[in-house]
């Protein structure tokens, strides 16, 4: 366990020296605060931030994460030469990346909502947005780690990260929209819900929707949505799915890390 802390500490020190993470925190702080500043009410700021969270968080986590893991390569190799359990080394490596990312978002986006607590954003909405952001950071940090361990070619790794982002954030929804239109005459709600759960960006979005837009979701004619989103069930399902999206890539990356030959 000491090793986890040690590597985590090293990672944190490394990252805090890194101006990127500071700029990242400040930019969220600036944007969220700015949205309030320019006359936004709580719900509006939440919705504006949602778009940012869905696009920017995965991008930063993927690109920054892959680069970070590549950059830690020599440090990792050095430690591997020591009598150190690989499992703990990996945990430290991942946490050293994921925690600052999630923390930076939490601080940057969270503080303005605490400051402007009276501006009408519901607690459920804020918690859902912050939770979705943290979940996305953790999930995409895990995916980034996996990509970086998957290939030694840095260019290829970053390219893969960018491609993953494009698919997860934009292309996937386009395909879903196409499918919904093409199979509109069939009962598509259930498969569609399943498709939503198969993409972490959509999971995060649905999680926030269940808090912010339940009035619209309940307007849908199908009873399935009513049962799913009318209660805490929808929020629960989305939250569990997001956690799953952190665990699975992390497991894959961990397995790769334990087995590969450095």
Partner 1 sequence: MRHALVTALALFAAQPALADDLTVGAGGRFATISAALEAARPGDRVLVRAGTYREPTLVIRTPRLTLEGQGWPVLDGQGVREVLVIAADDVTVRGIVATSTGISNLEDRAGIRAREVRNCLIENNRLRDNLWGIYLQRSADCVVRNNDLEARGLRQTESGNGIHLWYSPGARVENNRVRGHRDGIYFEFSSHGLTRGNVSERSQRYGLHFMFSDSCAYLENTFRDNNSGVAVMYSRGVVIARNRFERSWGSAAYGLLLKDISGGEITDNTFERNSTGIFVEGSSRLAVRGNTFSQNGWAAKVLADADENIFSGNQFSGNAFDVTTNSRSSNTTFDGNWWDEYAGYDLDRDGVGDTAFHPVRLFALVVEQHPAALLLLRSPLVSILDAAERVLPVLTPEALVDRRPLMRPPR
Instruction: Provide the binding-site residues for partner 1, judged by CB under 8 A.
Output: 39, 41, 43-44, 47, 50-51, 54-55, 169-170, 173-174, 176-177, 180-181, 184, 188-189, 192-193, 196, 202, 205-206, 208-209, 212-222, 225-226, 230
Three-state DSSP class for 137?
helix
What is the rounded end-to-end Cα distance, in angstroms, of the chain? 22
Decide if 136 contacts 92 (C-beta within 8 A): no
Query: Looking at beta carbons only, is 22 or 170 nearer to partner 1?
Result: 170
Report in angstroms how near the CB of residue 93 gets to partner 1 at its nearest.
Answer: 30
The encoded tokens of residue 47 equal 């919705």
Q: Is 122 left (phi over 0), alpha (psi -120 to 50) or beta?
A: beta
Query: Looking at beta carbons only, is 90 or 229 nearer to partner 1?
Result: 229
Sign of the dihedral defined by the CA atoms of residues 105, 107, 113, 117, in that order: positive
Report in angstroms how near the CB of residue 222 gets to partner 1 at its nearest.
Answer: 7
Distance CA 186, CA 199 (A): 22
Report in angstroms how near the CB of residue 193 gets to partner 1 at its nearest.
Answer: 7
Distance CA 199, CA 167 (A): 9
Decide if 52 contacts 43 (C-beta within 8 A): no
Query: Looking at beta carbons only, is 149 or 212 nearer to partner 1?
Result: 212
Report in angstroms how near the CB of residue 24 gets to partner 1 at its nearest.
Answer: 19
Query: Looking at beta carbons only, is 14 or 189 nearer to partner 1?
Result: 189
Query: Looking at beta carbons only, is 67 or 193 nearer to partner 1?
Result: 193
Distance CA 215, CA 49 (A): 20
Q: Which of 96, 135, 106 is nearest to 17 (CA)?
A: 96
Query: Looking at beta carbons only, is 58 or 96 nearer to partner 1?
Result: 58
Report in angstroms how near the CB of residue 127 gets to partner 1 at its nearest.
Answer: 17
Report in angstroms how near the CB of residue 94 gets to partner 1 at its nearest.
Answer: 27
Chain position carrying tokens 């199979």: 183
């Amino acid at each position: 366990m000491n090793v986890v802390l040690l590597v985590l500490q090293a990672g944190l020190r490394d990252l805090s020296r890194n101006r990127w993470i500071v700029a990242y925190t400040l930019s969220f702080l600036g944007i969220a605060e700015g949205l309030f500043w320019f006359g936004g009410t709580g719900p509006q700021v939440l919705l504006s931030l949602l778009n940012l969270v869905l696009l920017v968080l995965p991008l930063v986590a993927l690109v920054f994460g892959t680069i970070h893991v590549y950059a830690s390569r020599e440090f990792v190799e050095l430690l591997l030469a020591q009598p150190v359990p690989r499992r703990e080394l990996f945990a430290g490596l991942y946490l050293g990346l994921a925690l600052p990312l999630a923390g930076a978002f939490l601080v940057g986006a969270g503080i303005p909502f605490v400051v402007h607590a009276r501006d009408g954003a519901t607690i459920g909405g804020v918690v859902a947005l912050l939770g979705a952001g943290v979940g996305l950071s953790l999930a995409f940090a895990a995916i980034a780690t996996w990509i970086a361990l998957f290939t030694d070619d840095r260019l290829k790794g970053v390219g893969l990260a960018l491609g993953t982002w494009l698919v997860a954030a934009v292309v996937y929804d386009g395909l879903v929209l196409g499918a919904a239109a093409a199979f509109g005459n069939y009962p598509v709600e259930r498969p569609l819900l399943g498709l939503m759960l198969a993409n972490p960006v959509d999971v995060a979005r649905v999680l926030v929707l269940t808090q912010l837009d339940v009035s619209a979701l309940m307007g849908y004619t199908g009873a399935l949505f009513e049962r799913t989103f009318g209660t805490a069930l929808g929020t629960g399902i989305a939250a569990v799915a997001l956690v799953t999206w952190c665990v699975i890539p992390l497991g894959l990356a961990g397995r790769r890390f334990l087995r590969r030959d450095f």
